[in-house]
A and B are shown apart, each in its own frame.
Chain A
Amino acid sequence: MPRALPPPRTKPRLFTLFAALVALLGTALVVAPAASADTLLSQGRPVTASSAESAATPASAAVDGNTGTRWSSTFSDPQWLRVDLGAASAISQVVLRWEGAYATDFQIQTSNDGGTWTTINTTTGATGGVQTLNVSGNGRYVRLYTTRRATQWGASLWEFQVYGPGGTASPSPTIPPGAVRVAEFLADCPFSHRLPDDPIIFPGLAGASHMHSFFGNTTTNANSTVQSLLAGRSNCNPSTDLSSYWTPTLYNGTTPVEPSIVTFYYLGEGVRDDVRERIQPLPLGLRIIAGNAKATGVNDPTSTARWSCLHAGQVPPSKDFVTCPAGTQMESYLDFPQCWNGRDLDSADHKSHMAFPVNGDCPSTHPVPVPKLRQVLRYPVNGNPAAFRLASGPGYTMHGDFFNAWPEAEMLRRVVDCIRPKIKCGADGRP
């Protein structure tokens, strides 16, 4: 072996049981973290294919972690499916979970530029089912290239899974001395502007919303798209964060009050350590809403508002406004869901493409863990909150909207350097 041996794999009794059960059940198809100590690199990653039989069988279904959805090509040879791992990665294993329409002859190829391909496996006369291919390769892109189909139908996969030792090909960051062991990076984005617009819920319709206060990207309006945000400017520290964040405007009587301290934290908390270590970057263009603008009261479970006092921790937090002592500031905390379905950047109700973790892990319907966004706003008000109101109503209607326009490389670097290794980073994404 020209290269160093990998560390021994841990396959304890669990694997034996697993294999026995598979045999017992007479099925070769199983879901989820396969019997490899290596990391699943491909799930939820951007994917393209030579063709799709229909809109119901998109390429993305092959990397969504759901063995009830599949990619299927049109009915011709050759076909290909290409996954972008986001960065050059070592690859040790590829698992193909074929649907009945499988390919007998195919190659597995890697590339760093998506143009020049290196073949790391050639298979002929395959018989479908689940094929586990042990390979040795390296690249950012991994492609299945089929040259002969077994049936008159297309090439169809329930899942296409690429495993590797994990992380990028670059050395994993060493924990700097004195680093604070909290998985975090952040963006400080002051108030930018107010508009009665909402490019997520009422796209294209200026004036169709209650008043919003916008933070971060200075160009956001009803017509904003990910392209317009990327072409815009940001008032965040770091200014590389071109995302847009907005909340209902707070009024004291009829006077709008804007927060004087605005921080958006990206956190690796809320999931188990092993889940945190495979957190994926928030995909460019993702839209997330937290809280409920139509919440009906403090007992409404859909309200996730949390009002408290900065420098007055003795005041109990509430879903509605709180009375903060003189000299302190009223503050609002709001956490966004952190499990993505791996497929949709938005959904018809703007909620169902995202979910909260269950028992420290992302549910199988939303298998891709992403950083948890926590919005913290400090308002320069205190005292009796009777005259306070949000443009959406009482305090418990607090909500936040996020339109991700972090450049992909900036987001990836922070996930790899801060979130996965559990290191507290500043606005520059460094410890």
Chain B
Amino acid sequence: MRTRRVVTAILIGTLVTGGCARPGPPAGSVAPTGAPVAVAVTPRAGFGPTDIAWVELMIPMTEQALRLAGLAGDRAADPAMRRLAGRIGDGQKAELVHLRRLLLMSGMPYTDPHQGHDMPGMATPGEFKVIERASGDVFGRLYTRTMRENLAQAAHVARGEQASGTHPEARALAGAVERSRTAQLAELERLTGR
């Protein structure tokens, strides 16, 4: 057993080092036998971990805000609330396009790292189903509460990206998102008399 291990080690050593006795481009790291090694996708230059985390969070968060706004555009009793839902939808649709473009630029695959998790500012799938089935005053209450939490959390997280992110375009978008969500939240509060 030991002998076989040593022989294997020698053979690997030969394969790895044989014929490489010349300086120049760095030798590629040869992964020898052993445990499978997870291959990590690394974001392209300029994108830091905060930038990636922010984009990956904002995509599902914005998608949920758009679904909520879509429901309210049809269902809200107050015409002013329906118009606000339309404005939220238009503004966030453009931001979502920008977020997806940033993700593409980063070279990271699209995965939602938060799927199935109970996230601040987002309704769980079960909670969202309840909102979808609601109507009248019940819908109005659930909608304003959920949208309020979504807008406030998105503005909060955007401040973190502006403070800790490294990619200039992502940080600029975070600034725009913070302003737009803060303004949308203020309008929502005005309409609900808070």
Contacts and interface: CB of A to CB of B under 8 A. Distances in A.
Interface of A: 14, 17-18, 21-22, 25, 27, 29-32, 54, 56-57, 66-70, 72, 99-101, 128, 151, 153-154, 156, 158, 196, 201-211, 222-223, 248, 251, 293-294, 339, 347-349, 351-352, 355-356, 358, 363-366, 389, 391-393, 397
B28 interface: yes
Nearest to A366: B35
B50 A203 contact: yes
Chain B interface residue count: which class? 35 or more
Contacts of B165: 204
Interface in B12-46: 12-14, 16-18, 20-23, 26-35, 37-43
Given A156-B23, A205-B50, A67 B163 contact: no
A201 B117 CA distance: 14
B157 interface: yes
A95 to B, nearest CB: 13
Contacts of B38: 349, 351-352
B32 A30 contact: no
Nearest to A355: B35
Contacts of B26: 54, 56-57, 70, 72
Main secondary structure of the interface of B (DSSP, over half): loop
A45 B55 CA distance: 37
A156 to B, nearest CB: 6
B53 A208 contact: yes
Contact of B164 (A21, A56, A158, A205): A205
Given A349-B41, A364-B32, A365-B32, A222 B21 contact: no
Given A30-B9, A31-B16, A294-B116, A101 B23 contact: yes
A285 to B, nearest CB: 15
A253 to B, nearest CB: 12
Contacts of B43: 348
Contact of A349 (B35, B40, B114, B153): B40
A248 B156 CA distance: 21
20 contacts: A30-B9, A31-B13, A32-B13, A68-B27, A100-B20, A100-B21, A100-B22, A202-B57, A203-B50, A204-B160, A204-B163, A204-B164, A207-B156, A210-B117, A211-B118, A293-B117, A358-B34, A363-B33, A393-B116, A393-B117
Contacts of B168: none
Contacts of A158: 17
Interface string B115-138: 111111100000000000000000
Nearest to A356: B35
Contacts of A208: 53-54, 57, 157, 160
Contact of B13 (A14, A67, A99): A67
